[in-house]
Amino acid sequence: MLALIPYPKINPVLIDIGPLPIRWYALAYIAGIIFGWAYVRHLVGKDSLWGKVRHPSPASIDDLVVYVAFGIILGGRIGYVLFYNLPVYLAHPLEILAVWKGGMSFHGGLIGAMLGIILFARRIKVPVLAVMDPTAASVPIGLALGRLANFIKPELWGRPTDVPWAMIFPGSDGQPRHPSQLYEAGLEGVALFLILALAVRLGALKRPGLTTGLFALGYGTARIICEFFREPDAQLGFLFGGATMGMLLSLPLILAGLALILYAARSKTA
């Protein structure tokens, strides 16, 4: 007989303040940005990690978080509209603004954050990769919190399975499914954060682009692995050969990561 782990029913709304509900989903984004800001500030404040690479000052990171936050929110929403549900939003354009209903794309948020980083780096006149590298090292913090929020909501659950830790998610078809949100929190979040933290301690920031390349390669690989356990979006389903949209969007990340790692390896150590 299949052993199931009961889904822990957690109210997606942490607290109601009058007409304003405070949701775990929103808190995950806020906490991810705050903790990421603190971690980036810590990294840029340790000159021993950088060698002679010119990098931002800790004080300037207070401005960076504004650029990145707007990039994540705008890029994440626009990316979801374009990549995952364009026909629906073309028919109901006002729904694009209803971000409290969910619907954010990591890949879109990543593009938005990168544009914010480029604008910030140009404003303070430091190399773009010197801003992108510590930011990339902090991204898994937000990824872990965001996937936990997906689990609490619940959304983005896994494919049907008979593993002993399967769960029946509220709102699903009643089949036991992989808790794929937790797989993603572990791989894309905790594991990737530890790998990047180790790389930074071993001198990755002294080679501009290496940390960003490791992040792109690591995230793209982890996301593709998790997609084998995650139910594809209902409006898209499987595309071709069993591939999902998440897999296809992660392939360019892997290629970009490999290119950046090669670039960093061939450049002179600062």
Beta carbons within 8 Å of 71's beta carbon, 6+ residues apart: 109, 111, 112, 113, 114, 115, 116, 117
What is d(CA 64, CA 120) in angstroms, rounded to the nearest whole number? 6
Annotated binding-site residue? 123: no
DSSP class per residue in 96-154: GG-GGG----HHHHHHHHHHHHHHHHHHHT--HHHHHHHHHHHHHHHHHHHHHHHHHTT
Beta bridge pairs of residue 22: 15
Locate tokens 């896994």: which residue? Answer: 158
What is d(CA 155, CA 103) in angstroms, rounded to the nearest whole number? 10
What is d(CA 146, CA 138) in angstroms, rounded to the nearest whole number? 13
50: which DSSP letter? T
Locate tokens 């940390």: which residue? Answer: 211
Segment (H or E) for 20: strand 20-23
Cα 92 to Cα 95, 105, 235, 245: the distances in Å are 6, 19, 15, 22
What is d(CA 190, CA 221) in angstroms, rounded to the nearest whole number? 14
Binding residues: 147
